[in-house]
A and B are shown apart, each in its own frame.
Chain A
């Protein structure tokens, strides 16, 4: 490992690899990325890999729209093979008037920003997903440009491209400490040596707080377990990802043919827990077969758990912090994978001292001290 670097990225998930690539592309010649296990071993490799643009805040719409465009251009940009980018759409279904109203209000914002989502009647929703049960459904919202991308292929593609541009990527390397001098970052200590660097990016998702503590800082990011399962592969049957605000659930068929499904359990305690449990299996099986009874005969192959690194307002945390110069946060907070292209790019712009291509001051960690939380209404 190098003894000194222009920038060190901590975390080998989608955001870390995207940041390393964008830094190397921008001309940072000596970029080092360290990952304590293997690339994608944390939240990236455990996520459902849906990409969605139907949001209720301008920031989320712009970040996700920009990220979808970058994902789409990935094979050309990185010179990699197919990364399974599919714009098969997101269908948001609602069974309550208030939820339908909230989603309808978001349409105006999305249209203004060039996002082509639309409201559907239950009958129209059945034209998109013929086997969807529509009893009690109030309305559905369809974003035809939402979709899916393979998180492993996309992340490894970023890492390979970063390496080609001179970045060093070190899996199975654990950060043990961060050194500062005169109020700015000076070095990253690992179990495989120390790297002197003026710039550090914390892209460790749910582990962000642990890295912050090495600097005596508190980052308000808590790990929140989310469980998920995948079924045996089938012929292409379900086009869009179906997300129900009533069931807090989502279900999509990925290009490989398997159906991925999960839901946000509101009673999930904060903290790391990589165990999966049988209650999830029963809950999700009921929620999904209730919406799409035809899926009853699908066999579950396996279930697993991962974590959101969730912030108090469940929105990303990006940018520098006032206490330590040269130390930056690049945290997706539950939307990390789908926003990783833009988060990596914006982070590289910040480190280069450039004006960012989107105004992202609102995503600074300082917003929590100021009480300026961002309210995104449309989350599951």
Chain B
């Protein structure tokens, strides 16, 4: 099931890849993110970070709320470089 179950749909990260990161010693969302790119796609993990937190929690016994969680970063939704560059011109 792990090879065909996708945890992160933006970055095509499977459950098997997340399990592998945990086998390699990762213990937090921050670490799994850096090892697998899970939560690094355009949606910044709006869906997968909850699934990921549960997978890690089950493995480590640490409650999801206690895990080191990645930051949501600006811009919240992807914006074109040209739109940003022209920002003041339209104001």
A residues apposed to B, CB below 8 Å: 37-41, 45, 152, 156, 160, 163, 171-172, 231-232, 256, 276, 278, 281-282, 285-286, 288-289, 295-304
* A152-B35, A303-B74 given; 10 more Cβ-contact pairs under 8 Å: A156-B35, A171-B27, A276-B74, A282-B84, A282-B88, A297-B81, A299-B79, A300-B80, A301-B41, A301-B42
Residues on B with beta carbons closer than 8 Å to the beta carbon of A296? 80-82, 85
Residues on B with beta carbons closer than 8 Å to the beta carbon of A302? 44, 73-75
| Chain A residue at smallest Cβ distance from B79 | A300
B78 lies within 8 A of A301 (CB): yes
Task: Tell me which of B24, B31, B81 contacts A231 (CB under 8 A).
Answer: B81
Task: Tell me which of A37, A41, A281, A286 contacts B75 (CB under 8 A).
Answer: A281
B73 lies within 8 A of A232 (CB): no
Known contacts A37-B30, A37-B68, A156-B35: does B74 contact A288 (CB below 8 Å)?
Answer: no
| Chain A residue at smallest Cβ distance from B85 | A285
* Distance, CA A222 to CA B75, complexed state (A): 28
> Does B34 sit within 8 A of A, measured CB to CB?
yes
Residues on B with beta carbons closer than 8 Å to the beta carbon of A232? 42, 78
A-B contacts, 26 listed (Cβ < 8 Å): A38-B30, A38-B68, A41-B30, A152-B34, A160-B25, A163-B25, A171-B27, A172-B68, A231-B81, A281-B74, A282-B84, A282-B85, A285-B82, A285-B85, A286-B85, A296-B85, A297-B82, A298-B80, A299-B78, A299-B79, A300-B79, A300-B80, A301-B44, A302-B74, A302-B75, A304-B71
**Chain B stretch 12-47: residues in CB contact (< 8 A) with chain A:** 24-25, 27-28, 30-31, 34-35, 37, 41-42, 44
| Chain A residue at smallest Cβ distance from B36 | A152
Task: Tell me which of B24, B25, B68, B85 contacts A289 (CB under 8 A).
Answer: B85
| Chain B residue at smallest Cβ distance from A292 | B81
| Chain A residue at smallest Cβ distance from B78 | A299
* Distance, CA A301 to CA B31, complexed state (A): 20
B residues apposed to A, CB below 8 Å: 24-25, 27-28, 30-31, 34-35, 37, 41-42, 44, 68, 71, 73-75, 78-82, 84-85, 87-88
* Distance, CA A276 to CA B41, complexed state (A): 19
Residues on A with beta carbons closer than 8 Å to the beta carbon of B85? 282, 285-286, 289, 296
* B64, chain A: closest CB distance, angstroms: 17
* B70, chain A: closest CB distance, angstroms: 10
* Distance, CA A172 to CA B73, complexed state (A): 23
Task: Tell me which of A41, A282, A298 contacts B87 (CB under 8 A).
Answer: A282
Residues on A with beta carbons closer than 8 Å to the beta carbon of B27? 171
Known contacts A160-B24, A278-B74, A303-B73: does B82 contact A289 (CB below 8 Å)?
Answer: yes
The 3 closest A-B pairs by CB, nearest first: A296-B82, A299-B78, A302-B73
Residues on B with beta carbons closer than 8 Å to the beta carbon of A297? 80-82
Residues on A with beta carbons closer than 8 Å to the beta carbon of B25? 160, 163
